[in-house]
Amino acid sequence: MIPITKPFLPPIEEYSHFVKGIYKREWLTNMGPLASQLEMDIKDYLNVKHLLFVTNGTIALHMAIKALSLTGEIITTPFSFVATTSSIVWENCKPVFVDIDKKSLNIDPKKIESAITDKTTAILATHVYGNPCDVENIEKIADKYNLKVIYDGAHAFGVKIKEKSIFEYGDISICSLHTTKLYHSVEGGLIFTKDPDLLKKLSLIRNFGFSDFNSFSELGINGKNSEFHAAMGLANLKYVTSILEKRKILATQYTKSLSTLKAYIPEWHHDSENNNTYYPIILESEELLLKIKSELDKNEIFTRRYFYPSLAETLPYIEKQKLEISHDISRRVLCLPLFYDLTLEEVHFICRLILRVQNN
């Protein structure tokens, strides 16, 4: 059996080293020493100004919307994980969908401006599969209309644009450290901002809004994470470079082996390098996708239609709409297995099965 993904786990003795310290200190949560160390170590690794380690990426989105005091309409993408949209609705704002670019699969900046109204307060864009959005044009639009910008970079750990971290763009960026991600802390998330005042506000929000032991300065939430999750994050961080290298080897082999497949892969940002957090293919037709998926399922090779269906068409708590490109791509995109322990032999096997379906 080959799963769609598999979590990277460090040597157990390395994780146990951190756990023994937790048992000795008996400090389990509430931003203990390991959580604080993880924040500093990730900050150094990514070379960013400020970040907070939080419960998960979804909570990070909620915190971002709350910290920026957003109301009214937020322009966003229909081609993303459900948390991108549900966080907007949960915070009593209205998601306004803008269609995607068929090459990058990211929100299309050329279509944003026509969606702006007097109720628009922000743009929440997703770096789909870690692929950077057109951040320069989005920033120009935001500046022109005095809008805030949040980037959902759940998949974008380690991604840069011209050697600058993707998380340095926008008013706030977030990242997921969920176990399915190439770098994880089992459960966890990161929230980034360059603004020190905004960072302070986010820090207060993360801890129920406490300003001291007996008073509050913000409407807060329990957005903290535990020492055990921080321990996994610390144990895994030293392996990120080798994880990225291995995933690049596997993705390169997929691309080479599937060169005759009637499909294409998303066009990556020209000033950035792919972190290969996923390997998506956009098939010629949904019919071909379903045939390939069925054949792989029979061989216990599991894929994912990620993201399907388009969020604009499926969520019961928003007004449904059909956006042409998102609708089309979501029906034809399939993510293939990609994880650290996957072997080149397994990639060859997967590709042979795929091509056999196409050629029969």
Residues forming a β-bridge with 152: 126, 174
CA distance linking residue 17 with residue 9, whole number of Å: 14
88 DSSP 8-state letter: H
Task: Kindly tell me if the per-residue pLDDT of 28 is higher than 90.
Answer: yes
77: which residues sit within 8 A by CB, 6+ positions away?
A: 84, 97, 98, 100, 106, 107, 124, 125, 126, 128, 311, 326
Mean pLDDT in residue range 197-213: 94
Report yes or no: 8 and 184 within 8 Å, Cβ to Cβ.
yes
> Looking up tokens 């820090």, which residue turns up?
203
pLDDT tens sequence across 186-195: 999 999 999 9
Strands 164-165 and 160-161: antiparallel
**Candidate from 64-68, 84-88, 213-217, 223-227 with smallest mean pLDDT:** 213-217
23-42 mean pLDDT = 97
pLDDT value, residue 360: 85
Question: Token match 């937790």: residue?
Answer: 22
* CATH class label, 12-237: alpha beta
The helix/strand/coil state of 115 is: helix
In the chain, CATH 3.40.640.10 sits at: 12-237
Q: Which CATH number fits domain 240-359: 3.40.30.10, 3.90.1150.10, 1.10.40.60, 3.40.50.920?
A: 3.90.1150.10
- Mean pLDDT for the chain overall: 97
User: Cα separations (Å) of 131 from 18, 185, 211, 332?
Assistant: 33, 22, 37, 18
pLDDT digits (tens, 9 = 90+) for 320-356: 999 999 999 999 999 999 999 999 999 999 999 999 9
Supply the pLDDT for residue 212: 83
Judge whether residue 235 has pLDDT over 90.
Answer: yes
Least confident range of 189-193, 214-218, 266-270, 336-340: 214-218
* Beta strands 120-126 and 263-264, pairing class: unpaired
Q: Is it the case that residue 213 has pLDDT exceeding 90? A: no
Q: Is 55 exposed, middle or buried (0-12, 13-18, 19+ CB in 10 A)?
A: buried
Give percent of the chain above pLDDT 70: 100
Question: Do 42 and 51 form a contact (C-beta atoms < 8 A)?
Answer: yes
Burial (Cβ within 10 Å: 0-12, 13-18, ≥19) of residue 322: exposed
Average pLDDT of the residues in 176-200: 98
Q: Which string of b and e fits 224-257 if b means at least 16 CB within 10 Å? A: bbbbbbbbbbbbbbebbeebbebbeebbebbeeb
- CATH 3.90.1150.10 domain residues, the chain: 240-359
| Spatial separation of the C-alpha atoms in residues 159 and 271, rounded to whole Å | 10
Q: How many angstroms separate the Cα of 194 from the Cα of each of 48, 197, 206?
A: 8, 9, 17
Nearest to 342 by CA among 291, 280, 298, 278: 278
Residue 242: which residues within 8 A CB-CB, separation 6 or more?
none
Sheet holding 172-176, edge to edge: 51-54, 189-192, 172-176, 148-152, 120-126, 73-76, 94-97
pLDDT digits (tens, 9 = 90+) for 94-153: 999 999 999 999 999 999 999 999 999 999 999 999 999 999 999 999 999 999 999 999
Question: In 107-220, which residue ranges form alpha helices assigned H by DSSP?
Answer: 135-145, 196-206
| 88, 65 Cβ separation under 8 angstroms | yes
| Percent of residues in the chain assigned helix, strand, coil, to nearest 5 | 40, 15, 40
